[in-house]
Amino acid sequence: MRLLLLLFVGIQFVTLARAENYPYRSDVLWVTVPDKADWLYQTGEKAKVEIQFYKYGIPRDVEVSYELGYDMLPAHDKGKLVLKNGRGVIALGTMKEPGFLDCRLTAVADGKTYKHHVKVGFSPEKLKPYTQLPADFTEFWKKAKEELDQYPLTFTMKKVEKYSSDEVNCYLVKLYVNNKKQAVYGYLTMPVKPGKYPVVICPPGAGIKTIKEPMKRIYYAQNGLIRLEMEIHGLNPEMSEDDFTEVSRAFNGAENGYLTNNLDDKDNYYMKRVYLACVRAVDFLTSLPEWDGKNVIAQGGSQGGALALVTAGLDERVTACVANHPALSDMAGYLWGTGGYPHFNRMRNMLTPEKVKTLAYYDVVNFARFVRCNTYLTWGFNDDVCPPTTSYRVYNLIQAPKEALITPINEHWTSDDTEYGHMLWIKKQVK
């Protein structure tokens, strides 16, 4: 009953989702209940899932077509099931190797097609990445940080009155990241009350975008934390919507986007500047007179979760890390099986030997090996953007003290309660 309750509660948070198992204001409700409460099995153990289908809350005896495939991979089996009283059971079989099995469902009701899916895991705690650690990985990044240190910390801060209050001050920060005068922007929020506070760096999710809602996580500053919510492309959040749209269209195509820019050259790959910008952001935050001199936290989701882990792996000043369903994880994994966002297997000529070699220097699984601070990860099983297979591969590699909040029903989203819980976890890490 507890699992069933969670399935219904999950509907409340659909507005946060991009890939919707539960579309907003849908007449149809799917419920999928694996015969293991935590949706986890041992390799070789057979799994079953009960399927329920309701329209207007009334059970419907529809025919369900289903496909079974490994996480993010083509189907290897399929079948049909006619529900009785709106219910039926599908035998999923098993997996001989650690991983996730995805049951993809389709039903037609009153002439309209409805889709759903559910993933279950088999010994995922044993998952290992395809991506290997380059022999000169630490030397490469040590040299990159030394080059960054040659340039003085340079930034501007402008108070933003419309986002400030008697309780919280907000500043628009322009932070220069190298000698080419390239910069990134961020909104810095901090308590008005004089004092010394921990600092939190929050990198962004994927895409060419500016910071739209700087006050969405205002509770960080309200709880005594200085927080920098940053972007990574040098886009001033005060630019006009028309200018932003032009930039986004020009530099965010499927095969000419920033994540593919100079991918065959590890020294000039676009993400090198991004990773170093995160280190520079730590330089900035630890230069603030309001910093408490001890606590530096990296926090983010998806690409932001990836960058939080990268920052923790690159910079020993980071004392705690929180990451949701990290992207950029085992990106070349598709050469072996399941891979991670941005799913280069779907793009032409993106998994060539030279590009795969570069990816190893930028893959989150390799930074996870060097995380030394307390770390908290959360991810869902039904995520088709940052699949659970790659989240487990990252988590399994972390040797530092770590905790996980696993939310099987979640796709590529987290609830407001989960996000607020991240802040509460961070407060517990403060020394």
- Are residue 65 and residue 176 in the same domain, yes or no? no
Residue 131 resides in a domain = no
Question: Stretch 326-351: mean pLDDT, rounded?
Answer: 96
Model confidence pLDDT, tens digit, residues 20-34: 677 778 899 999 999
Residue 17 resides in a domain = yes
- Are residue 241 and residue 370 in the same domain, yes or no? yes
Provide the CATH number for the domain around residue 269. 3.40.50.1820
Residue 132 resides in a domain = no
d(CA 122, CA 44): 8
- Which residues belong to the active site? 302, 383, 412
- Are residue 195 and residue 287 in the same domain, yes or no? yes
| End residue of a domain, out of 93, 126, 159 | 126
- Are residue 102 and residue 145 in the same domain, yes or no? no
- Are residue 358 and residue 419 in the same domain, yes or no? yes
| End residue of a domain, out of 126, 156, 172 | 126
Question: Stretch 149-158: mean pLDDT, rounded?
Answer: 95
Provide the CATH number for the domain around residue 23. 2.60.40.1930
What confidence category does residue 347 fall into, taking pLDDT thresholds of 50, 70 and 90? very high
What confidence category does residue 15 fall into, taking pLDDT thresholds of 50, 70 and 90? very low
Global pTM reads 0.92
Concatenated DSSP letters for 12-51? GGGGG-SS-SS-TT-SEEEEEEESSTTSEE-TT--EEEEE
Residue 7 has what pLDDT?
Answer: 36
The candidate with the shortest Cα–Cα distance to 275, out of 412, 168, 178, is: 178
- Are residue 187 and residue 280 in the same domain, yes or no? yes
The number of domains in the chain is 2
- Are residue 366 and residue 394 in the same domain, yes or no? yes
Asked whether residue 130 carries a pLDDT value surpassing 80, the answer given is yes
Domain ranges, residue 100:
2-126
- Are residue 276 and residue 338 in the same domain, yes or no? yes
| End residue of a domain, out of 126, 161, 190 | 126
Q: CB–CB of 204/300 below 8 Å?
A: yes
- Are residue 145 and residue 120 in the same domain, yes or no? no
d(CA 223, CA 200): 12
